[in-house]
Structure 1
């Protein structure tokens, strides 16, 4: 029996952009566009009504912008995953969206193939960022003065191996790269990552990176393994 398609809500104040996105997403049978919204306020209402798996969200919109809408959606429908799709690669937008609970941040120049893959990945529980955005998250966290980090007691819930995985994840390594560093199977890394997120109450890998630095587990200046 085949899996049901990933349901997606499109949110953008540009009708032409919404039409283009729908055409791209509709080309993949594994994805179903279940609704649209032209601003953040309507998006919040549609999410409550339609319960989509993924919300594809613009940032600059009238009434309620994408970041504020993301915050409301995550609070009211925690199972919904938000992917920000924007023209603006601005630090304040990036970190505002991630702090609000977005599971992905992609630019509108992203290829259709990557967009389709991103929606499926986020629906499966992964996070997805443009490579340049991922690097900026790591760089910004690594630039924090050491004195700002306060050890979070939640770390005590992790096993020694889970801490090692989280430390490598915080340096921007993929599951395959972490497996190589720790000399374990990639499938084992994936299991450890899921357990880390569950134990720490984090939504995705991006929040795990931020947690590792802000909690003091990973210190600024440490190199990649």
Structure 2
């Protein structure tokens, strides 16, 4: 029985090319759409094995599309198919339930492999994306070594950007004294005496 696939891609030419390519290689493309507002209903009606989901589309983005599909039909595997390489979108997609993350520059042969891989329980990712995920686990391990809390890590990230306590407080919507208290704890945990030393240590040891 052919593998059923649904495409969500707002670039009409790319979507049509993908649909044609997949059909020519034995896949059953049961639907292709230029937006994902009705993704939940589409997943329920067509019961796709795999969804290829773009991120940047008109109306609701593909990150919400993943959430809706996973809520309506958890067994459907969703592979993000996008140009975005930034950490924020990557981890939003993974947290939303995406099973894989491929960049649009991925060769067609790798796309077919990824579809098979995700059906076998794998998590296909483009090499640069897999490296980002690995780096994040390494950073988390280092952060845990110093027992930094998630809020302290966030404060440290703002500090590395060169922000003052006042600006950090405004960005995080915290009281000035609260941020100052977090910084004091950060300095103690990192065994440093000031912000410059904290920044140097954080960067050299890839704490954030």
TM-score normalized by the length of structure 2: 0.67
Question: Is 1:11 aligned to residue 8 of structure 2?
Answer: yes
| Alpha carbons 1:37, 1:43 under 8 Å: kept | no
Map 1:140-155; keep pairs closer than 5 Å: 140-144=136-140, 145-146=143-144, 147=147
Question: Is 1:89 aligned to residue 85 of structure 2?
Answer: yes
Pick one of 28, 34, 52 that aligns with 2:30. Answer: 34
Unaligned runs of 5+ in 1: 150-219
Q: 2:39 matched to which residue of 1? A: 43
Following the alignment from structure 1 to structure 2, what is the Cα–Cα distance between the partners of residues 121 and 103?
Answer: 10
- Measure how far apart 1:12 and its partner are: 0.7
Following the alignment from structure 1 to structure 2, what is the Cα–Cα distance between the partners of residues 143 and 104?
Answer: 21
Following the alignment from structure 2 to structure 1, what is the Cα–Cα distance between the partners of residues 60 and 88?
Answer: 17
1:82-135 deviation digits (Å, cap 9, x = unpaired): 000001211111111111110110011100100111111112221100111111
TM-score normalized by the length of structure 1: 0.62
- Measure how far apart 1:65 and its partner are: 0.5
Instruction: Give RMSD over aligned pairs.
Output: 1.9
Pick one of 53, 69, 93 that aligns with 1:57. Answer: 53
| Alpha carbons 2:40, 2:71 under 8 Å: kept | no
| Alpha carbons 2:39, 2:68 under 8 Å: kept | no
User: Which one has a bigger Cα radius of gyration?
Assistant: 2
Secondary structure of the equivalent of 2:48?
Answer: coil
Map 1:1-225; keep pairs closer than 5 Å: 4-29=1-26, 31-144=27-140, 145-146=143-144, 147=147
Following the alignment from structure 2 to structure 1, what is the Cα–Cα distance between the partners of residues 83 and 7?
Answer: 15
Secondary structure of the equivalent of 2:98?
Answer: coil
Following the alignment from structure 2 to structure 1, what is the Cα–Cα distance between the partners of residues 21 and 113?
Answer: 12
Following the alignment from structure 1 to structure 2, what is the Cα–Cα distance between the partners of residues 51 and 38?
Answer: 18
Secondary structure of the equivalent of 1:33?
Answer: strand
Q: Which structure exhibits the higher relative contact order, with contacts defined as CA atoms closer than 8 Å and separated by 6 or more residues?
A: 1
Following the alignment from structure 1 to structure 2, what is the Cα–Cα distance between the partners of residues 26 and 148?
Answer: 50
How many residue pairs get aligned? The number is 148
Secondary structure of the equivalent of 1:126?
Answer: coil
Deviating above 6 A after TM superposition, structure 1's stretches of 4 or more consecutive aligned residues are none
